[in-house]
Structures are given as C-alpha cells and as structure tokens.
C-alpha cells in the first residue's frame, strides 16, 4: 500500500509537487524580471510627465502692475489665456511676455481680463486637453511605482521567491537521504529511545511485516526531557538513517503576526508531507504552537489557537496508511494542550532524561572521537565527576578541554584539561587578575573551609573534591562536591545534611569574624529554595504534612491560581524559616566542635589558593573520623536540590 505512494510522480520519477514547484519558480523569475524592467520605465515616464506638466513659455515675466500699466499705455499687442497653465501670454512692444495667476484667485483673473477688455486688446482662450490628464496620471504613476516596488520586494526577498504567498507557505526543510551526517551510531546511551525510532523508520521503509500482523504506524511520537538531553539529536539521527523524506521545522515558524498565516503554513506542511508519503515530519519546540488553549483569547491568542486547531485537525485527519509520522520535541510537556496529547495524535510519549554514569561515559566516548586524548585520561573518572550533566554539557566539556589544550600548546588532552573544563562549565573561567584584599582572602578562605568541614562531618553529603578561593564568574571561591554515584532519590536526613552544609560558609564567617557578609547570598538562596521544595513538593514537613503546594492553571482561562489557602501559605513560610534556622544552628555547632580543623584548612587554603586530592583528604580526616557532634533534634525539616556552591552532580540530582 505504501509502496504505491512511493511511485507517485512524473514521467521521470519526479514528484508532481516538485514539477509544479519548478514551473512556479520559473514563472516567478519571469515576473521578477518584468517588474524590475518596468520600475525604471515607470520612474522615467513619471519624470517626463512632471517636466511636461510645468508651463514652458518664452518671453519676459511681467508683474501684475507692470502688465496693467502696459495695457493702459497701449503697449500690449495681443493676449492668449492658457487654461491649464493658468497663464496669459502674448506680445508687446519689447517682444513676448507672460504673466501667471493662481487658479483659485478668481478676483485676480477677473481683474486681468477686465483690464484686457478695457484696453481693447485682442484676447483668445487656448484649451489644453492633454494637460487635463496630468492630474490623474500624477496620482496613478506613484501608486504603480510603489506597487511595482512591493512586487519586486516580495518576489526577490520572499522565501523561495514566493512573494505574497510566501506567508502561507510552510518553512519546513526537507532533508534528503544522506544529507544529515548524524546517524543512530552517533547517539550514545539512549538505547530504548533509538529502538522506538528505529521501529518507525523500519515501518516506513518496509511496512509489509508490520501490516501482516495488522499493526499500524503511530501517528505521532513526542520526545520530552530537559534541555540538552538529545531530543533534536535523535531527530537528526532519524533523518540520517531514514530512507524516506524527512521534513524538519520549528514550532516558532508557525507563529506570525498576520492572522491565518500559522494555520495556512500547517496546511501547506501536511499537504507536502502527504504528497511525499511515506514521510516523517519533525516539529522542534512543539510548545511554541501546541500550548494549551483557554476560553479568553485576547489579541494574538486567537491566531495561536487557530494554528493549534489546524494542527489538531491535520493530525487527526490522516487517512489509514497515509504513511506520515509526526515527531515532536519539547521540554515543556506540562503546558501542551490535552487534545494534542491524546492517542490518535501523539500515540507515544518518550521521556529522555539526563544520562547516568555509564551513559555519560558512553557520551564522552562519542564526543572524544578524533581528539588526541592522553593515555592517562580515564573517561569513567570524568563521568563520575559530571553527575547531572546533560549530553550537551558533556559535549561542551570535551570541546572546552580541547580548547584549553590547544591554548596551552599541549599535544594531547590531559586529565587536568578535562577537570578544569568541568569547573569552567559549572562556575566559569578563573579570574586570576582579580586581586583580593587580605580581609576578603581571609573571609573567603574560612567560608569555603566551613563548607568542607561541615560536609566532612555530615554523612548525608557528598565528598569534597576541591576547594578554591580563585574567583570564577561572579563567585569569589567555590567548593566542589564529587558524588560517588547517581541517586534517583534522597532521604530526609540527606537533605537536612545538605542544607546544613550550604549554610556552613555563612556560619564560619560568623564564628571567625563575628558577623556575616554578602558572600553567602547564593548559599541562602539555594537553602531557601531547597527548603521550599521540601515543604511544598516533597511533603516532608510535619506541620503541613504530605500536601502538594503548587500553582495550577485554571481551565477557564483564569491563569495561575494558588491552589491553597493563606493559612497553608503562612504555615509553609514558618516551616521554611524553621528548616533554614535549624540547618544554620547545626552548621554552627559542627564548626565550633571542629574549630582546629577549620582553622588549619582555612589557613592552608589561604596560602595554596586551591586544595584537592590527598592534601585536602588529610586535612579533613580528623573531621570525618569524629563526625557530627551529638544534637538534641533536627526538627521537622527536609531539603531538595542544589546550592550555589554545589557541583553539577548535585545540581542534577533532583531535577
């Protein structure tokens, strides 16, 4: 059945759409040449008309008083009134003369004609019928010039020379077989997703074995996941491995300020895709056109909803066995319209998450192809230090390491280049030109040492991989946590420990200098965010209980609503404050109990600027063996997430 669709085309195998498109392009080119040739002719004709319409009379120009005086003295021989030029011409004793009068000044014209009649000068009226056409022509020619200019603009600049119809034409790009250099072999880790897409490719290429089982191809596949996890990469690989026409377009290409353009482009896209069936249509950033509808559409909202309605109709209007599959990609599936997600439109939803440690190692191997790696490089070690990184982050790390090696004239990429690239990806490049005062250097050293000591004493935190007081980005220093492995979930005690470690930098400043500084801003923001998610999302507060506190979107177009009462909001605020307060108190108690280790670590860091490896482990060993001092109770608190100083690993732990 689908093979019949493949054979549709011209006499030489060219699709009818391609033949029609070639003829249309030739016609547009001819129209463009004619318009370009017509423009200078119209401008020249307009200039000639303007020149000809101005009066050109020989002789002397007389003022009104000179003319009337000459009439009284009998020196005027004859007079001719030029009706269209608004002039009186004739001869007098010195030769030819002419005098102009305003068209709307009837009094002046009557005065001049009366003077001619009183003087007995022979007078005649000369009509100028051709000049009566000057007025309409001077209005018509500028309009024709402007219209011709617009035609040239749309024929030349419009997409593919489509001119005015270009607005309603689809902007999808058709990728021919072999045009995409990326195949499924270039995609690492996403085996299940590749299997799903490979099945679609196989069905469209050879549908017989599927049809024998009575199976039909899904009408739509939706790829969802965080940014940088490989959704568009998978689409490119599908295009590279497909033996059927592949159309690629972004959801924003359907959005236009003109009413009806988006719906017209949807219709044109599916018309082309059906003509080339079996085919695949890939819509990237689907949320740009598939956002949920509301009942209160204002302004451009009507146009966007009309575009979405047309997409719904096209996807649900496929004939059985049409062979057109829509692949959509978005990182915001929560805002898509429910009608778009139902079976029959997007039959399959494939979630692509950040890779685990084995997946990261496989991704690193793909991106390291063709790059001179040192034999000392262990990609498994790099994968362990990049927990929470997406595929795009890992590609950036490998590329940044290659740039660092080239900048430093190294023949190969060494481990130090990769680890520094990870730090640059998380916090930015080093700012060694930033000179710290003695006071700032002292305070930042104790701040970072406070994070390290608290993390070493608390069992729920990740080990410290590196401390530094070298400025990176906006941060004066940083603490690098290195997870031992990937975690799918975290416990209440682990989250509480991490909040205490976040606030330990501020606690160290208070213990040593007697007052906090603004350097703990990001730590406080991260701790409060973590505490808020703990109370509102994870249900880890005894006062609020297992209760989800999230804004929701009203179905009647009311926008975001709170979804909870003011009492719940007040309880949530109190619980967040209590979580942060208890975490800070724990951090102070830990640092006071390990003050000798805190001082030793801070002063060593002050001298060395960066600490890692055996030196750092040796300074933290006394803290690890003793652990956290006994405490009365932790309160009803729990955190999630990430801190301003947390590594990319911790950053991706809870999403």
DSSP summary character for residue 518: G
- Which residues, 6+ apart, have CB-to-CB distance to 630 below 8 Å? none
Annotated active-site residue in 314, 400, 423, 448: 448
- Which residues, 6+ apart, have CB-to-CB distance to 15 below 8 Å? 8, 9, 275, 276
335's tokens: 């805002």
**Which H, E and C letters describe 125-152, residue by residue?**
EECCCHHHHHHHHHHHHHHHHHHHHHHH
Residue appearing with tokens 């999230």: 550
C-alpha span between 114 and 112 (Å, rounded): 5
C-alpha span between 312 and 319 (Å, rounded): 14
CA dihedral 366, 367, 372, 373 (to 10 degrees): -80
242's tokens: 């497909």
**Which H, E and C letters describe 429-488, residue by residue?**
CECCCCCCCHHHHHHHHHHHHHHHHHHHHCCCCCCEEEEECCCECCECCEEEECCCCCCC
- Which residues, 6+ apart, have CB-to-CB distance to 171 below 8 Å? 159, 249, 253, 265
Of the candidates 483, 575, 580, 497, the residue with the CA atom closest to the CA atom of residue 538: 575
Of the candidates 452, 440, 509, the residue with the CA atom closest to the CA atom of residue 478: 452
448 is catalytic: yes
Query: Which of the residues are catalytic?
Result: 448
């Amino acid at each position: 059945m689908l093979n019949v669709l493949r054979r549709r085309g011209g006499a030489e195998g060219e699709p009818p759409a391609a033949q029609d498109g070639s003829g249309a392009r030739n016609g547009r080119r001819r129209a463009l040449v004619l318009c370009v040739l017509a423009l200078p002719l119209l401008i020249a004709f307009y200039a000639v008309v303007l020149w000809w319409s101005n009066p050109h009379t020989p002789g002397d120009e007389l003022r009104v008083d000179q003319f009337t005086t000459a009439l009284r003295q009998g020196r005027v021989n004859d007079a001719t009134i030029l009706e269209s030029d608004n002039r009186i011409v004739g001869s007098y004793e010195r030769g030819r003369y002419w005098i102009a009068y305003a068209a709307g000044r009837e009094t002046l014209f009557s005065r001049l004609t009366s003077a001619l009649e009183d003087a007995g000068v022979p007078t005649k009226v000369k009509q100028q019928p051709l000049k009566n056409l000057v007025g309409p022509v001077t209005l018509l020619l500028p309009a024709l010039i402007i219209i011709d200019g617009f035609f040239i603009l749309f024929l030349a600049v419009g997409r593919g020379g489509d001119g005015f119809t270009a607005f309603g034409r689809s902007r999808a790009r058709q990728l021919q077989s072999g045009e995409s250099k990326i195949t499924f072999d270039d995609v690492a880790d996403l085996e299940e997703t590749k299997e799903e897409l490979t099945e679609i490719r196989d069905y469209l290429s050879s549908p017989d074995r599927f049809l024998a089982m009575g199976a039909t191809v899904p009408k739509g596949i939706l790829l969802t996941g965080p940014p940088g996890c490989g959704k568009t990469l998978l689409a490119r690989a599908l295009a590279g491995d497909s033996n059927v026409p592949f159309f690629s377009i972004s959801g924003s290409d359907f959005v236009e300020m003109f009413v009806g353009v988006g719906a017209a482009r949807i219709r044109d896209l599916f018309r082309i895709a059906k003509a080339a069936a079996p085919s695949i249509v890939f819509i990237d950033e689907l949320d740009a056109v598939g956002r949920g509808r509301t009942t209160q559409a204002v302004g451009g909202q009507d146009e966007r909803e009309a575009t979405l309605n047309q997409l719904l109709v096209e996807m649900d209007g496929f004939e059985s066995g049409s062979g057109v599959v829509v692949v959509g990609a978005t990182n915001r599936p929560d805002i898509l319209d429910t009608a778009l997600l139902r079976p029959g439109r997007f039959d399959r939803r494939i979630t692509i998450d950040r890779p685990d440690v084995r997946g990261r190692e496989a991704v690193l191997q793909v991106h390291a192809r063709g790059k001179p790696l040192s034999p000392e490089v262990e990609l498994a070690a790099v994968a362990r230090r990049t927990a929470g990184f997406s595929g795009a982050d890992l590609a950036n790390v490998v590329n940044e390491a290659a740039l660092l090696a080239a900048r430093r004239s190294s023949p190969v990429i060494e481990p130090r280049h990769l680890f520094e690239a990870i730090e640059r990806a998380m916090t930015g490049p080093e700012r060694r030109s930033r000179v710290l005062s003695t006071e700032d250097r002292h305070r930042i050293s104790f701040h970072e040492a406070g994070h390290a000591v608290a993390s070493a004493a608390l069992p729920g935190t990740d080990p410290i991989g590196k401390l530094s007081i070298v400025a990176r980005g906006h941060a004066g220093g940083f603490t690098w946590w290195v997870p031992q492995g990937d975690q799918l979930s975290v416990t209440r005690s682990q989250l509480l420990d991490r909040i205490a470690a976040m606030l330990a930098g501020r606690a160290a400043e208070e213990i040593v200098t007697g007052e906090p500084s603004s350097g703990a801003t990001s730590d406080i923001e991260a701790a409060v965010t973590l505490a808020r998610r703990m109370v509102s999302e994870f249900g880890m507060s005894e006062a609020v209980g297992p209760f989800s506190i999230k804004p929701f979107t009203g179905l009647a177009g009311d926008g975001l609503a709170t979804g909870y009462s003011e009492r719940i909001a007040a309880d949530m605020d109190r619980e967040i404050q209590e979580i942060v307060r208890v975490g800070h108190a724990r951090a102070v108690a830990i640092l006071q109990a390990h003050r000798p280790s805190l001082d030793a670590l801070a002063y060593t860091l002050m001298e060395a600027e960066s600490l890692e490896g055996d030196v750092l482990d040796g300074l933290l060993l006394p803290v690890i063996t003793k652990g956290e001092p006994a405490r009365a109770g932790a309160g009803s608190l729990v955190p999630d997430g990430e801190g301003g100083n947390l590594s990319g690993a911790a950053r991706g732990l809870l999403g």
